[in-house]
């Protein structure tokens, strides 16, 4: 009995101490969470896209907030591309820029040139999660700016122009399915065979190809014909689209319209229905675009479709399509903004976006994964316990490899501060080139060159940037 009393008497203080410790472990985390909630950093992330893209970026935000509960991300979503870029320009002009926003490499220079963006080079250099070697070099180079050639934005993708095609329509017309490396003549022959009056009323209702007659679509054909778009990629001073080679490439592209093979829809029909909608309903056999429409095209149920490289002229060529996460110079907590950019650009973030089909991941390892190449969710990858990737049906396009093969034939456009204005000058001369009989390609090229010269001159006066104001862009062929 005495021994039992001794144990109980001496155990009571120990029990009370243990209870106190337990209460401490329960209360402190709750108090800590309250402090975190009070001290949470808020950042604003702006982007645009269709509903599939909206869901993809929201999934990135949700995953980030779970990993970083002390940083709250406010989503600033705009559905339409034109409305989005107008909003971004207005926000910057009003001093209310988003902390981080998504933009393409042809647009970001005007904001970097005006001092509106903060470079991320030092963040990436010191990151323990990412390094430049993780990414395709061309996608990084597209977002360098200024005399120091600093990296300003972290690219999420390295897409390019390809030809989407309706396999069923090719078969019905007796046209062999295209293969990568096909030439211009084969492409034109296919487009002609696919252009049909299917109901016999004397009016064409099925077109061979749909594509926007904009600079961003035409430059691939300039390079393919051995031409150049500017005199110097890194320090351009003028357009060079009036050279014989460039005129040859432009003329071939424009020959798809009324002044040539007439395999594209007329202007009134283009105004009434988007190229993507026409392709999806079976009104066109081919559709020239980047990777961007894949999430929506995967909704097609009426026919099978795939992708193939652009037709080759003298040499294979395509144009870089890349957008990136950029940090506003006005962001109050740039460390928090970088933490978000670092996460979005990581393997986890890029995998989430690749699962939608929207991007060609700029991170090499993700681009070579089944998530991108086959459309297989990361949860079904071989690295997940119990997963069976063989049991998961691959999603179209079956030839996603073409986007990676395109990288060696890929060209980029300059990222100077006035590039948006230069594209506007070009498009003002060429945007109706499909619809005008007797269109003078040489005269249009010379006019675009002359009318864009002032923009080149102003950019060259600010080689390091930070002396220009962003303008609201015209925005043709943004992605």
- Per the CB < 8 A criterion, the answer to whether 143 and 324 are in contact is yes
What is the phi/psi pair of residue 381, to 5°?
Answer: -70, 160
- Per the CB < 8 A criterion, the answer to whether 331 and 343 are in contact is no
Higher pLDDT, 28 or 166: 166
Higher pLDDT, 475 or 258: 258
Q: Which residue has the tokens 């249009």?
A: 444
**pLDDT (0 to 100) of residue 56:** 87
**pLDDT (0 to 100) of residue 463:** 54
* Percent of all residues in the chain with a pLDDT value above 90, rounded to a whole number: 82
- Per the CB < 8 A criterion, the answer to whether 349 and 342 are in contact is no
Confidence category of residue 384, pLDDT binned at 50, 70, 90: low
Distance CA 2, CA 91 (A): 81
Beta-bridge partner residues of 426 = none
- Please write the tens of the pLDDT for every residue from 260-286: 999 999 999 999 999 999 999 999 999
What is the phi/psi pair of residue 361, to 5°?
Answer: -55, 135
Residue closest to 194 by CA, chosen among 303, 326, 271:
303
- Please write the tens of the pLDDT for every residue from 282-303: 999 999 999 999 999 999 999 9
**pLDDT (0 to 100) of residue 314:** 98
- Average pLDDT score over the chain: 90
- Please write the tens of the pLDDT for every residue from 236-247: 999 999 999 999
Say whether pLDDT at 8 is over 50: no
Q: How many CB atoms lie within 10 A of CB 126?
A: 8
Confidence category of residue 39, pLDDT binned at 50, 70, 90: confident
* Percent of all residues in the chain with a pLDDT value above 70, rounded to a whole number: 86
- Please write the tens of the pLDDT for every residue from 177-225: 999 999 999 999 999 999 999 999 999 999 999 999 999 999 999 999 9
């Amino acid at each position: 009995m005495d021994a039992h009393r001794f144990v109980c008497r001496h155990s009571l203080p120990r029990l009370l101490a243990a209870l106190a410790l337990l209460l401490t472990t329960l209360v402190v985390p709750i108090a800590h969470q309250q402090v975190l909630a009070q001290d949470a950093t808020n950042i604003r992330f702006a982007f645009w896209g269709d509903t599939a893209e909206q869901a993809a970026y929201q999934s990135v935000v949700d995953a980030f907030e779970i990993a970083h509960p002390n940083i709250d991300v406010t989503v600033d979503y705009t559905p339409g591309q034109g409305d989005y870029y107008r909003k971004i320009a207005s926000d910057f002009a009003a001093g209310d820029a988003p902390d981080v926003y998504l933009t393409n490499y042809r647009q970001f220079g005007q904001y970097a040139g005006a001092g509106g963006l903060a470079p991320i080079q030092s963040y990436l250099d010191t990151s323990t999660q990412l390094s430049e070697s993780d990414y395709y070099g061309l996608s990084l180079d597209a977002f360098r700016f200024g005399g120091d050639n600093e990296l300003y934005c972290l690219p999420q993708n390295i897409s390019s122009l390809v030809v989407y095609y309706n396999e069923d329509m090719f078969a019905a017309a007796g046209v062999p399915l295209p293969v990568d490396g096909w030439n211009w003549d084969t492409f034109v022959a296919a487009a002609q065979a696919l252009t049909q009056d299917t109901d016999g009323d004397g009016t064409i209702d099925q077109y061979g190809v749909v594509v926007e007659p904009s600079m961003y679509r035409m430059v691939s054909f300039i390079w393919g014909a051995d031409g150049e778009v500017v005199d110097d990629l890194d320090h351009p001073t003028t357009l060079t689209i009036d050279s014989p080679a460039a005129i040859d490439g432009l003329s071939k592209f424009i020959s798809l319209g009324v002044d040539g093979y007439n395999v594209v829809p007329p202007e009134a029909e283009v105004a009434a229905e988007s190229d993507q909608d026409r392709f999806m309903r079976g009104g066109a056999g081919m559709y020239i675009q980047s990777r961007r429409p894949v999430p929506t095209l995967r909704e097609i149920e009426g026919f099978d479709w795939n992708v193939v490289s652009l037709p080759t002229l003298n040499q294979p060529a395509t144009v870089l399509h890349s957008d990136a996460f950029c940090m506003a110079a006005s962001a109050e907590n740039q460390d928090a903004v970088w933490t978000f950019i670092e996460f979005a650009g990581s393997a986890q973030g890029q995998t989430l976006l690749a699962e939608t089909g929207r991007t060609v991941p700029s991170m090499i390892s993700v681009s070579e994964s089944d998530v991108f190449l086959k459309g297989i969710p990361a949860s079904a990858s071989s690295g997940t316990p119990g997963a069976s990737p063989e049991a998961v049906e691959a999603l179209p396009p079956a030839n996603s490899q073409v986007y990676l093969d395109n990288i060696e034939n890929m060209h980029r456009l300059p990222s100077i501060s006035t590039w948006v204005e230069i594209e506007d000058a070009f498009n003002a001369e060429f945007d109706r080139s499909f619809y005008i009989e007797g269109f003078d390609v040489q005269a249009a090229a010379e006019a675009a060159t002359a009318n864009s010269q002032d923009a080149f001159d102003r950019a060259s006066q600010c080689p390091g940037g930070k002396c220009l104001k962003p303008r609201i862009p015209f925005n043709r062929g943004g992605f």
